[in-house]
Amino acid sequence: GALHAVYWLMRLDMDGKQGFCFGYDDEWVIQPVLEMPCFEDIKTKRFGSMTAQEKKVNFFHAFPWVECNKLLTSAGLLKAGPTTQGRDAPCVGRDRLKAMLVLTAIHDVMKNEALCPVVQANHGPFCNYREGQVIRDHDIALDYVLSYFGGIFPSYDGLDQDSQRLVKFTQGKMGFNNGWLVQ
């Protein structure tokens, strides 16, 4: 789901739009852009009355891909490539992409209540959770674990400090929802 979305969004200049909208088959072959239904026939249709195929075609043709690419660029996930690759050839912002992939992989891990941490004596209070209390809010629980035990996630531990700070920032009380970004 989410990791596939990041994959396709990072490839908007190639086959990303097609893969994001139409996916791939069991052999990992990207599915073709549907010619039917015709976008002209459905573009004024109410979204709720569209079939699954019509929704895919509509999204492919109507989504603001240029703005999405600008968002990825302003976030540092993509950046302008060297002039040897062409003036507009995008390159991956490696550190930011690694941070995004780590965040995508771990952002909901604390929804498994068996993993929810208990606030330790020397850490309380933490975001209004007292010492000995289980942190059941999955975002705050991950924030706590990243704050005090970040090394238990090898992918997070392997990030540079700036990238760790960015990942941790998303888990605070700012209301960021990673799922909204990739949906």
For 19-41, write each residue's pLDDT tens digit: 999 999 999 999 999 888 889 88
End position of a domain, from candidates 92, 118, 135: 92
Pair 88, 98 in one domain: no
Pair 108, 170 in one domain: yes
In terms of pLDDT, which residue wins out, 17 or 183? 17
pTM value surpassing 0.95: no
Pair 123, 172 in one domain: yes
Pair 51, 110 in one domain: no
Q: Note the pLDDT of residue 146.
A: 97
pLDDT beyond 90 at 122:
yes
Band of pLDDT at residue 87, cut at 50, 70 and 90: low
pLDDT tens digits for range 51-86: 999 999 999 999 999 999 999 999 999 987 765 555
Pair 15, 54 in one domain: yes
Pair 136, 87 in one domain: no
Residues paired with residue 79 on neighbouring β-strands, in sequence order:
91
Residues 74-101, buried b or exposed e (16+ Cβ, 10 A)? Answer: eebbbeeeeeeeeeeebeebeebbbbbb
Q: Note the pLDDT of residue 43.
A: 87
Q: Note the pLDDT of residue 88.
A: 62
Q: Are 53 and 47 in contact (CB under 8 A)?
A: no
Pair 77, 130 in one domain: no
Pair 12, 72 in one domain: yes
Q: Are 113 and 105 in contact (CB under 8 A)?
A: no
Q: Which helix (H) or strand (E) holds 59?
A: helix 52-62
Give how many domains the chain has, as a whole number: 2
Which residues form the domain of 62? 2-92
**Closest among 122, 123, 130, 137 to 171, alpha carbons compared:** 137
End position of a domain, from candidates 34, 69, 92: 92
Band of pLDDT at residue 8, cut at 50, 70 and 90: very high
What is the mean pLDDT of the segment spanning 37-49?
A: 90
Average pLDDT value for the chain: 90
- CA distances to 3, 16, 22, 31, 37 from 27, in Å: 18, 17, 14, 11, 25
Pair 30, 57 in one domain: yes
Calpha distance 94→91 (Å, rounded): 9
Band of pLDDT at residue 174, cut at 50, 70 and 90: low
